Chains A and B, each alone.
Chain A
Amino acid sequence: MEKKASAGNRGEGVRSDCHITCEIREVGGIELKLQSRVNALFGEDIRNQVNAILDFYGVRHARIEVEDTGALPFVIAARMEAVLRTLTGSDREYLPAMLPENRFETERDRFRFSRLYLPGNTPRLMINAGIHKPHGIILDLEDAVAADRKYEARFVVRNALRQLNFYGAERMVRINQVPAGLEDIEYVAPHYVNLILIPKCESALQLRMVNDAIEEIRRKREVPCRIWLMPIIESALGVLKAHEIASAADNVVAIAIGLEDYTADLGTRRSQEGMESFMARSMVVNAARAAGIQAIDSVFSDISDMEALKQNIKVSKSLGFDGMGCIHPRQIKVIHENYAPDAAEIEKAMKITDAFIKATQQGLGVVSLGSKMIDPPVVKRAQRTINLAVSLGLLPENWQEQMIAQTESKQ
């Protein structure tokens, strides 16, 4: 067993975090050295919290040093737990209270235009993520966390799931690649995570392994909510297996593509035009539609170029994607505006849907608009656009009445 351990971030530019070093000793009681940016207001609070956690793990003699840059209590708890479990070998969980508003299950086909990546070991970026109203937030345990910080990040992510309000965003976690990522599931599944992202997916088997792990935990810990899956395709093999993966389990609600790794696997590079990934993106969309789930596009990494992002989304939408990842809150608004149906699309959909409803009322088998016949799939797509527009607030729910009123006023 270790005698000394540390967790957390410190140094220039670090805020809302804390770094804790602890050394367990044989005698001498607890020696706590606290250096905090918020000492005047929360020094006493922090000491009490640290002592309570030491007590929880039965540590009576230790030298402990806390460098705090204004960490919220859930962060301090996560850092303490990481350190003390390493030192004591205990697997007891020190769980901060679960926010009642975080106990919710999400709808299978809710909107997933945007999902904001948040590095799992950087609490500062998590705290206000929800105010930007992304459809989902991803607490990332995979690529955004350095290899030697994977352990401590799990506690930050778990505590964030319990304590942070993301204001209605779907709460997602990206685990590490299976099989290593299976262990991550234990830290998130009991805490009302809504969706788990499985990176670098190449087979249905990987999904089944994830689901087995989830089911075992749900049974053992009596987790009432369903947990959705979103596999990410990031390799040539993954693209070829896209349909197998998309239809591997009934809780797979979306399939995503990660183009950085995919293009590296191809031995090429991402270009502005995206010719190199055209086939892969289409394959993923195709697989998603075949499985009846959502298709989610790769992130756009130039966070300063909103015009390029917009163009990227236009292409993405025309390929059939339902949303994309984002790495900066500023991208969210652009993503929402551009995946949403535009005015011309909505108007056309309104006319078609209106014609369909009238035709049904009149018992006509054929829907027509002017002199043109309209096929059932076109009607279906129009209805989908209408539903989308209504739920995005682009169209009032009583749009049909308004349409009639408008026609009458024109006459």
Chain B
Amino acid sequence: MKKYDHLTRNAAGRIVPGEINGEKHIPYKGVGKHIPDGRKFAPRIYSCADYPPDGNKLVPDLKEALIRAGIRDGMTISTHHHFRDGDLIANQVFDAAHELGIKSLRWFPSASFPCHQHVIKYLEDGTIHHIEGSMNGALGRFCSEGRMQGMGVLRSHGGRYQSVQDGEVRIDIAVIAAPTADPFGNANGVEGPAACGLLGFALADSQYADRVIVVTDNLVPFPCIPWQIHGNYVDFVVKVDQVGIPEKIVSGTTQITRSPDRLYIAELTARFCDEAGIIRDGFSYQAGAGGTALSIGNYFRDILRKRGWKARFIRAGSNKYPVEMLEEGLVDYILDGQTFDLEGVRSMRENPNHVNTSPFTSYNYHGKGNFATMVDVVILGATEVDLQFNGNVVTHSDGYLLHGIGGWQNCLFSRCTILPIPLFRDRIPVIRDKVTTLCGPGELIDVIVTERGIAINPLRTDLIEKMNGSGLPVKTIDQLKDEAEKICGKPSSPELDDELVAVVKWVDGTVLDAIRKVPV
């Protein structure tokens, strides 16, 4: 099987394969242009006659569960990333597969972390054929250097749900590590030593996989309440000593930045939102867990407090900052996709207004709407932006694949998308002629806020008008690019191989761009 074939130029002008890892894929057609047809993928019909009537689905260990789930060569195995860098289970799945002599698996994680570089040896020995999911750090390097047997496929959180729902990725075995579960398979993320808040990223896996294994270190008698994952989807339950390392589970950046430059960018972003009239009584926003985004949230909080206003909801990545706002009455709801610290976990456990969400409710493009489009303003990052406002979040300017897409693409559909980013990092300018990898079409990116000025997408004439007389340093994106190059010099283009190593999917399942091999 060829890694990829049938190269074509898609609607964004990028050369992408029409066949990837032996499967057909549709090239990107434009925002909202691909109209799906047919019906959703349906899992098999099961009979409760095949499951123990006492509800006890316990099996002795993970390997046994994999064998009973029918693991064999070429299968697709999925895991979730709610334990982030503290995950102990995904590696054990492939240890077991390796011991069983299984080959050519497709690993389909909702994201991978540095702790997963353990599986590099299984990529090398053929236990795993390729990864479809984010690849960070060492795994990203491995893929970038063309060492993976198959093509990497990167999807957004919403795109992952869409791909499972549409039957584009058929999960053979889903392994769902859970902080708490009962023997029937009901599970949640709010209780237990490895509490991570919720299990939303595993929702699609539980609904659509052929076989579902729940692994927990905190087994409680039926019923496990709340049941964020329904036992009715689950085949086997495994009790282990430990599913995750708590201090690494809550490893997201949970401190506001101390960097004066980033604080300045955050303040400028908040002022922009205020001048644009985005911040008002009843507004909504998404601010991620990065240091800059957190401090923007704090500026929003100060403005709400000062004017006696209240936000309707915060879309999160939650941690103590939005939790404080919820408890202070500055926001009605937190709609949470993942919790980044113990305060977030506690709040989700105790406060019914701290709601657990999944990529189905928040991001899925092939549904009857999703709430990402209803958010007034989202604050996102990027490794690069180009003169057409296209954004890149997965590769660095040297071509290396180092980050996942996360919910980034899905969030672009908000009413206003702002990227607060430094104009250059060390010597590397963030605004390029053309992004190395296209992850987000420029028509969806509204504003770039840098320490040396704010560029507004010319499509947003409304925002440009609102900035008249605001005193904010509004410039064109070309001006910002020139300013950076005056300081840094004009960067040359890195020489990348013609060979492709991974693709970036768009939220509708089409292929937006391909990532090239970095010559070593």
Contact = CB atoms under 8 A, between A and B. Distances in A.
Contact size range, A? 20 to 34
B489 A73 contact: yes
Interface in A104-145: 127-128, 131-132
Contact of A330 (B263, B493, B494): B263
Interface in A7-50: 15-16, 37-42, 44-45
B426 A41 contact: no
Contact of A45 (B428, B489, B493): B489
Interface string B388-419: 00000000011100000000000000000000
B261 interface: yes
Given A41-B494, A132-B264, A330-B260, A69 B428 contact: no
Interface residues of B, number: 20
A38 B260 contact: no
A329 interface: yes
B428 A41 contact: yes
Which of B397, B398, B451, B489 is the most central at the interface, judged by chain A CB atoms within 10 Å of its CB?
Answer: B489
A103 B22 CA distance: 63
B466 interface: no
Interface string B467-492: 00000000000000000000111011
Nearest to B496: A40
Interface string A48-76: 00000000000000000000011111000
A343 to B, nearest CB: 17
B452 A42 contact: no
A132 B260 contact: yes
Interface in A205-258: none
Nearest to A131: B451
Contacts of B261: 128, 131, 329
Contact of B427 (A42, A128, A131, A165): A42
A168 to B, nearest CB: 13
A187 to B, nearest CB: 22
A14 to B, nearest CB: 11
B260 A72 contact: no
B494 A15 contact: no
A41 B487 contact: no
A185 B263 CA distance: 35
B383 to A, nearest CB: 13
A328 B428 CA distance: 25
Contacts of B492: 41-42, 44-45
Nearest to A99: B486
Contacts of A15: 426
A128 B516 CA distance: 34
Contacts, number: 56
A37 B425 CA distance: 11
Nearest to A70: B426
B489 A42 contact: yes
Nearest to A164: B487
Interface string B31-67: 0000000000000000000000000000000000000
B451 A72 contact: no
A69 B494 contact: no
A283 B53 CA distance: 91
Nearest to A68: B427
Contacts of B488: 42, 72
Nearest to B471: A393
Given A328-B260, A329-B260, A330-B260, A38 B399 contact: no
A40 B397 contact: yes
Given A41-B398, A329-B260, A131 B452 contact: yes
A128 B451 contact: yes
Interface in B308-328: none
B260 A40 contact: no
Interface in A300-337: 328-330
A77 to B, nearest CB: 12
Contacts of A44: 492
A328 B261 CA distance: 11
Contacts of B452: 131
Nearest to B473: A131
A329 B260 CA distance: 6
A154 B517 CA distance: 43
A269 B144 CA distance: 57
A44 to B, nearest CB: 6
Contacts of A132: 260, 264
Given A16-B426, A70-B427, A132-B264, A42 B451 contact: no
Contacts of B489: 42, 45, 73
Instruction: Among A37, A40, A329, find the residue whose CB has the most chain B CB atoms closer than 10 A.
Output: A40
B421 to A, nearest CB: 13
Contacts of B398: 39-41
Contacts of A330: 260, 263
Interface in A161-204: 165
Contacts of B264: 131-132, 329
Interface string B189-203: 000000000000000
B451 A38 contact: no
Interface in B229-267: 260-261, 263-264
Nearest to A328: B260
A40 B451 contact: no
A72 B427 contact: yes
B427 A38 contact: yes
B263 A38 contact: no
Contacts of A165: 487
Contact of A69 (B397, B426, B493): B426
Most central of B427, B487, B491, B493 by chain A CB within 10 Å: B427
Contacts of A71: 427
Interface centre among A16, A44, A131, by most B CB within 10 Å? A131
Given A40-B398, A41-B494, A329-B260, A70 B428 contact: yes
A160 to B, nearest CB: 12
The 9 closest A-B pairs by CB, nearest first: A70-B426, A40-B398, A329-B260, A41-B491, A40-B494, A70-B427, A128-B261, A131-B451, A38-B427
20 contacts: A16-B427, A38-B427, A39-B398, A40-B494, A41-B397, A41-B491, A41-B492, A41-B493, A41-B494, A42-B427, A45-B492, A70-B426, A70-B428, A71-B427, A128-B261, A131-B261, A165-B487, A329-B260, A329-B261, A330-B263
Given A40-B494, A42-B491, A44-B492, 14 more contacts: A38-B426, A40-B397, A41-B397, A41-B428, A41-B491, A41-B494, A45-B489, A127-B487, A128-B261, A131-B452, A165-B487, A329-B261, A330-B260, A330-B263
